[in-house]
Every structure is written in structure tokens, then in C-alpha cells.
């Protein structure tokens, strides 16, 4: 029956998520998950009824956390669904394009490819910043420009003045989609304040990383009410299961936010520890990182990755030559990583 599928789909290689790649081991640092397994009260009732399309209490809670208005907030099955909604709502297959700047997150390309939308790329500069001149030269037909900051997998922040220049350059032509999946680890770098000035800005957020809820599948898109209303035209009728809204609300309560802030502080300390310990090893380059992961450039990244894999320490190889991305786990996991890598280079 595969031959009945759309040509585009027949040719598609699915996104190789950390989960799909698999592996076996006892140290999992390949998917930027949180090491904290927080517990929640499960009020599993009223499941005979459909959920609200956009649960009001949840929208209000996240809008308040993010410092925007409820009408500027949309919730979906993870930030990944936000990416997909933007592509589906704004890009005419065959005519329009998206633009993104590798090395970066893989789902922009996958979403566009799935819907038959052209992908244009402008690599990041040597400092992993935006190449604004080359972006400007490629903007024809581009409806969405994806910018990830902190960028996955490199970890660095994109310069604010360049983001503003990009917003100016694309005014009335394209939407700049800021992927802020890791912004809770460095909230001062958010572009959320720019929503007031720029109606061509959309911001993706998630509860998968700093809120330790990757398995919940809950994300947000922040944008002008006009963009949100367009996205609401293409979203599924019941995208947020009742238990998901329930747990997300607990995570956004005063106590939930305080716990998340503590855990973020701990992970940021662990990142400092891991970064300094690895930088002390000869031949390694630890890239500056602002999320819950570090990109480390090894003399022989593939070998290191495989050796770690074989010993049950699952890291993430990256498109950056000899680069291996290491998620920040608890302190014991960080110590195990340091120990393993030290021995490998002894
Ligand atoms: C993890 C991640 C996402 C996806 O988040 P979900 O809410 O789990 O779908 C989006 N963008 C980037 C850059 C990520 O690393």
C-alpha cells in the first residue's frame, strides 16, 4: 500500500528522534530531557467529555508566565505541533518556502517536506550567528524564517540586534519564528517583549525541557492575536487531552513554577560543572551553551560517541563535525560523563 501514499511521503525519511534511534544503557543524555521526575496529582474524571480546544485556565496560566495576553497564546501538542501549524497555515505547497539556518533543529525541514513546502537554507556564520545578507538574498517566496535561540544543537544565543534586523527585513513579507524551546534556562534572552512592536513575530515554547514534561506533549505559540486566529483555523478540534491540561496547570501553579526555577538553577550549575571539567581535558572544545545541553567538539567525535554508546552512555551525535551534544543530567550523570571521557583520552 506504500505506493498509494503521496510521492512526497514515499520519499520522506522520518525525523530520527533520540527515541527512534534507540540504544540501551543507564545514562540517557541524548534528548535534552530533564533528569527530574516530578509527581503530579491525576484527576482522571470527566473523560467522557471532549476537552476544550484551548483550555482557558491553561492559556491564562501560560500567558501570565510568559508575560503576554491570553489572546496571544496558543497551546498544542508540543512545540513541534506549533511548527507544523505555522507551515500548514502559512505556506502554499509548491509556491511558498520556509527558510532556516543550519546547523539547527531538524523539525522545520521535516514539517515543510511533509507538506510539500520548499526548504531554503542559509548556514549560520562561523560564530553560529545569522548571515543576514544571505538571508535577504533568499527571501523570495519565503513565508516563515525559523530562528532557534538558544540554538539546538550548538547551544549559543542568536544576537538580539540581528533578530531585530531580521524582523525589520521581513516586515509585511514573512513571519520570523523564534524557537525558544530552551529559553527558560536563560529567560533574559527571550524576544517576547518584541511581540509588541512586531506583528510578524511568532515564538515557540515548550514544557518538555525546563518544565521536565517531555512525555506530556505540551507546547505553546506566542504571537499577535491575528496570527493565533489563523493557527486556530488549522488546529485539530481537541488538541489538548484533559489530563495534559490538568498536569500542565499544576506545573504552572505558584509551587510548580518555584520548583521549575529551582531545577533550572540546578541544571545551569551542572552545566557549568560539566563544561569546566570537559574544557580541562586536552584537545576538547566546549561550546558556550545556554540550554540544558552542551555541544562538545572532540578530536574524533564519532569514535567517542560510539564508545560511549557501547558502554551504555547514550549521547547525541550532531551534524557539526566531531561535535557531540550532551544533555545536562543530574550531578551523578555529569560526573559519569566526565569520568568516561577522561578515561577515553588517557
Ligand atoms: C525539543 C525541541 C522542540 C520540541 O519540543 P516539544 O514541545 O517536545 O515538541 C522544539 N524546538 C527545539 C529547538 C527543541 O529542541
Confidence of residue 300 (pLDDT cuts 50, 70, 90): very high
Ligand 1 atom with the smallest distance to the CA of 78 is 7
Q: Would you say 293 and 244 are in contact if contact means Cβ atoms under 8 Å apart? A: no
Question: How do the domains of the chain map onto residue ranges?
Answer: 2-35+256-340, 56-253
C-alpha cell, 224: 499577535
Q: If DSSP states are collapsed to H, E and C, what string results for 134-175?
A: HHHHCCCCEEEEEEECCCCCCCCCCCHHHHHHHHHHHCCCCE
Give pLDDT, residue 346: 83
Give pLDDT, residue 23: 74
Contacts 24+ apart (CB under 8 A), 187-191: 189/149, 189/150, 189/157, 189/160, 189/290, 191/149, 191/160, 191/163
Asked if residue 246 has pLDDT above 80, the reply is yes
Asked if residue 20 has pLDDT above 80, the reply is no
Q: What share of the chain is helix, strand, coil (3-state, %, to 5)?
A: 40, 15, 40
Once rounded to an integer, what is the mean pLDDT over residues 216-243? 97
Q: Which residue has the higher pLDDT, 15 or 115?
A: 115
Mutate to test the pocket of ligand 1, among 78, 86, 149, 207 (most ligand atoms within 8 A of CB): 78
* Pairing relationship of beta strands 175-179 and 201-206 according to DSSP bridges: parallel
Q: Would you say 63 and 43 are in contact if contact means Cβ atoms under 8 Å apart? A: no
Tell me the CA–centroid distance for residue 334 and ligand 1, in Å. Answer: 22
Confidence of residue 298 (pLDDT cuts 50, 70, 90): very high
Q: Which residue has the higher pLDDT, 5 or 290?
A: 290
152 close to ligand 1 (CB < 6 Angstrom): yes
Closest alpha carbon to 151 in 330, 296, 295, 337: 295
103 close to ligand 1 (CB < 6 Angstrom): no
- Note the CATH number of domain 2-35+256-340: 3.90.1150.10
Tell me the CA–centroid distance for residue 19 and ligand 1, in Å. Answer: 13
Give pLDDT, residue 205: 98
* pLDDT tens digits along 38-89: 999 876 788 999 999 999 999 999 999 999 999 999 999 999 999 999 999 9
105 close to ligand 1 (CB < 6 Angstrom): yes
In Å, what is the CA distance from 328 to each residue of 13, 169, 336? Answer: 29, 36, 12
80 close to ligand 1 (CB < 6 Angstrom): yes
Confidence of residue 24 (pLDDT cuts 50, 70, 90): confident
170 close to ligand 1 (CB < 6 Angstrom): no
Asked if residue 188 has pLDDT above 90, the reply is yes
pTM for the structure as a whole:
0.96
What does R_g of the chain's alpha carbons equal in angstroms?
20
148 close to ligand 1 (CB < 6 Angstrom): yes
Confidence of residue 25 (pLDDT cuts 50, 70, 90): confident
Q: Would you say 98 and 131 are in contact if contact means Cβ atoms under 8 Å apart? A: no
Full strand arrangement of the beta sheet holding 73-76? 73-76, 219-223, 201-206, 175-179, 142-148, 97-100, 118-121
Give pLDDT, residue 17: 73
d(CA 31, CA 321): 19
C-alpha cell, 122: 542559509
* pLDDT tens digits along 85-119: 999 999 999 999 999 999 999 999 999 999 999 99
- Note the CATH number of domain 56-253: 3.40.640.10
155 close to ligand 1 (CB < 6 Angstrom): no
Once rounded to an integer, what is the mean pLDDT over residues 296-317? 96
Give pLDDT, residue 184: 98
Q: Would you say 276 and 282 are in contact if contact means Cβ atoms under 8 Å apart? A: no
Asked if residue 14 has pLDDT above 80, the reply is no
175 close to ligand 1 (CB < 6 Angstrom): no
198 close to ligand 1 (CB < 6 Angstrom): no
Please name the residue whose Cα sits nearest to atom 11 of ligand 1: 181
Confidence of residue 15 (pLDDT cuts 50, 70, 90): confident
Confidence of residue 127 (pLDDT cuts 50, 70, 90): very high
Please name the residue whose Cα sits nearest to atom 14 of ligand 1: 181
Average pLDDT, the chain: 96
Which of 11-20, 23-32, 176-185, 208-217 has the lowest average pLDDT? 11-20
Give pLDDT, residue 103: 98
d(CA 75, CA 53): 9
Tell me the CA–centroid distance for residue 79 and ligand 1, in Å. Answer: 5
Give pLDDT, residue 320: 96
Closest alpha carbon to 176 in 154, 203, 197: 203
Confidence of residue 2 (pLDDT cuts 50, 70, 90): confident
Amino acid at each position: 500500500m506504500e505506493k498509494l501514499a503521496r510521492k512526497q511521503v514515499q520519499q520522506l525519511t522520518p525525523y530520527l528522534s533520540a527515541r527512534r534511534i534507540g540504544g540501551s544503557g543507564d545514562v540517557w543524555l541524548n534528548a535534552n530531557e530533564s533528569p527530574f521526575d516530578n509527581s503530579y496529582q491525576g484527576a482522571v474524571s470527566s473523560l467522557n467529555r471532549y476537552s476544550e480546544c484551548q483550555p482557558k485556565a491553561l492559556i491564562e496560566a501560560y500567558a501570565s508566565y510568559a508575560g503576554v495576553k491570553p489572546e496571544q497564546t496558543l497551546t498544542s501538542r508540543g512545540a513541534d505541533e506549533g511548527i507544523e501549524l505555522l507551515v500548514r497555515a502559512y505556506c502554499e505547497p509548491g509556491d511558498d518556502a520556509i527558510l532556516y539556518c543550519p546547523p539547527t533543529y531538524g523539525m522545520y525541514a521535516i514539517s515543510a517536506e511533509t507538506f510539500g513546502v520548499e526548504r531554503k537554507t542559509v548556514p549560520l556564520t562561523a560564530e553560529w550567528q545569522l548571515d543576514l545578507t544571505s538571508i535577504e538574498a533568499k527571501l523570495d517566496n519565503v513565508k516563515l524564517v525559523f530562528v532557534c535561540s538558544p540554538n539546538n544543537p550548538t547551544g549559543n544565543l542568536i544576537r538580539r540586534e540581528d533578530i531585530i534586523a531580521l524582523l525589520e527585513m521581513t516586515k509585511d513579507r514573512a513571519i520570523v519564528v523564534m524557537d525558544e524551546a530552551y529559553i527558560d534556562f536563560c529567560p533574559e534572552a527571550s524576544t517576547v517583549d518584541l511581540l509588541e512592536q512586531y506583528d510578524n513575530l511568532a515564538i515557540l515554547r515548550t514544557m518538555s525541557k525546563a518544565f521536565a514534561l517531555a512525555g506530556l506533549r505540551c507546547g505553546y505559540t506566542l504571537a499577535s492575536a491575528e496570527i493565533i486566529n489563523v493557527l486556530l483555523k488549522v488546529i485539530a478540534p481537541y488538541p489538548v487531552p484533559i489530563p495534559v491540561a490538568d498536569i500542565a496547570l499544576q506545573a504552572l501553579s505558584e509551587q510548580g513554577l518555584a520548583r521549575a526555577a529551582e531545577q533550572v538553577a540546578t541544571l545551569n550549575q551542572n552545566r557549568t560543572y560539566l563544561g569546566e571539567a570537559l574544557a580541562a581535558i586536552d584537545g576538547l572544545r566546549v561550546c558556550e551553551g545556554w540550554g540544558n545541553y552542551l555541544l562538545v567538539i572532540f578530536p574524533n567525535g564519532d569514535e567517542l560517541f560510539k564508545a560511549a554508546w557501547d558502554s551504555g552512555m547514550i549521547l547525541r551525535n550532531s551534524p557539526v563535525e566531531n561535535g557531540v551534544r550532551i544533555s545536562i543530567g543530574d550531578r551523578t550523570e555529569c560526573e559519569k560523563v566526565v569520568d568516561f571521557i577522561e578515561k577515553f583520552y588517557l
